[in-house]
Amino acid sequence: MTLAERVLDGDVRAAARLMRDIDDRFKSAVAELKTLYPHTGNAYILGLTGPPGAGKSTLVDQIIAAFRKKELLVGVVAIDPTSPFSGGAILGDRIRMNRHAEDAGVFIRSLATRGCLGGMSRSTMDVVNVMDAMGMDVVIVETVGVGQDEVDIVSTAHTTVVVMVPGMGDDIQAIKAGILEIGDVFVVNKADRDGADRTARELAAMLEMKHPEPGAWLPHVLKTEGSRGIGVEELMEEFEAHRAFLKSSGALQRLIQERNAKLFADTLREELFDRVFGAINENGDYCRITDGMRNRTTDPYTAVEEVLAARAFP
């Protein structure tokens, strides 16, 4: 049996091996993904993003437990930062979810960003599809701690949760473009800290200033204490409310279309780059171009135009 067939048969080890091959960009993984793709589209994808130190991993640990109480199978894709020196990742997110390690109904996979911006890894969507195909009811994607514009999670998840924390300093940060626009649910975690009520009120006031279109989803601000599980039940109810809204309003199909478009565009971009760069690296053009740029006898813009012209790209 192929890896894909074993994944569809419920083989967890095969899924883990395929995810490793995907992350390492083995060409053999593409054939397996082709087999799995028709079996995707069933899982509910939940994305959590927010600044470093907001307690995302601890909150995810509680959300996993809540879904498991409902006897749902849960997959988790935890994105961790990559060392610029070794290329490795600490994988601290998995440590905080350690109590679920022996639960057969939970599958946790850590991915390193490997220099990819946007708060996610380049292989995130493919790994999500593997978890979807292997029968997970819910797939949770926890991004690496992100800045103000690293918000790629919105093109992957059905429900995007923005986790904030009181005491971050500059109140104006939450207003900046990107953060307010992507959230379907806003969470002020570590609500036992001073300033939590104020942070929640200010977030709610900012959301009211957006003037959403009639019939659009109105995000709510909830307070939680991830370390003690306080507020998680209300959070789960909000997830269900948003999921029901997506189905009843028709927004779910739009999200799926946007997600598929991004997956196609990203795959095409990577394939074109690999083919073109591989060709110019093999025939020596790459060294010639970089030497010309160093000597200022050519410029990168002309070089790119010549490379594309030589391969009949309009």
pLDDT digits (tens, 9 = 90+) for 192-201: 998 899 888 8
Evaluate whether residue 294 is within a structural domain: yes
| Range scoring the smallest mean pLDDT among 5-9, 140-144, 186-190 | 140-144
Sign, CA dihedral 242-244-250-256, equals: positive
From CA 81, how far away is CA 146, in angstroms rounded? Answer: 10
First to last CA, the chain: 43
Are 149 and 7 found together in one domain?
Answer: no
pLDDT at position 165: 87
Given a cut of 70, is residue 147 above it in pLDDT?
no
215 confidence band (pLDDT: 50, 70, 90):
confident
Are 35 and 65 found together in one domain?
Answer: no
Are 15 and 159 found together in one domain?
Answer: no
Coil vs helix vs strand at 138: strand
Are 75 and 88 found together in one domain?
Answer: yes
Are 155 and 237 found together in one domain?
Answer: yes
**Mean pLDDT to the nearest integer, 200-221:** 84
Evaluate whether residue 257 is within a structural domain: no
pLDDT at position 37: 95
Examine the fold and report which residue of 249, 279, 302 is the final residue of a domain before the chain moves on: 249
Please give the single-letter amino acid code of residue 200.
A
178 confidence band (pLDDT: 50, 70, 90):
low
Show the domain range for 299: 264-310
Evaluate whether residue 27 is within a structural domain: yes
| Range scoring the smallest mean pLDDT among 20-34, 37-51, 208-222 | 208-222
Are 31 and 61 found together in one domain?
Answer: no
Contact of 68 with 106, CB cutoff 8 Å? yes
pLDDT at position 289: 96
**Mean pLDDT to the nearest integer, 219-228:** 92
Alpha carbon distances (Å) from 112 to 5, 24, 92, 293: 26, 11, 11, 32
Evaluate whether residue 255 is within a structural domain: no
Alpha carbon distances (Å) from 219 to 55, 157, 180, 226: 20, 15, 10, 20
Are 141 and 155 found together in one domain?
Answer: yes
Are 22 and 51 found together in one domain?
Answer: no
Tell me which residue has tokens 């598929």.
260
Evaluate whether residue 156 is within a structural domain: yes
Number of domains in the chain: 3
Q: Residue 63: give its domain's CATH number.
A: 3.40.50.300
Given a cut of 60, is residue 115 above it in pLDDT?
no
Are 74 and 175 found together in one domain?
Answer: yes
Are 31 and 53 found together in one domain?
Answer: no
177 confidence band (pLDDT: 50, 70, 90):
very low
Evaluate whether residue 256 is within a structural domain: no
Are 48 and 195 found together in one domain?
Answer: yes
Evaluate whether residue 199 is within a structural domain: yes
Cβ neighbourhood burial of 147 (10 Å; 0-12, 13-18, 19+):
middle
**Mean pLDDT to the nearest integer, 10-29:** 92
Evaluate whether residue 130 is within a structural domain: no
Are 199 and 268 found together in one domain?
Answer: no
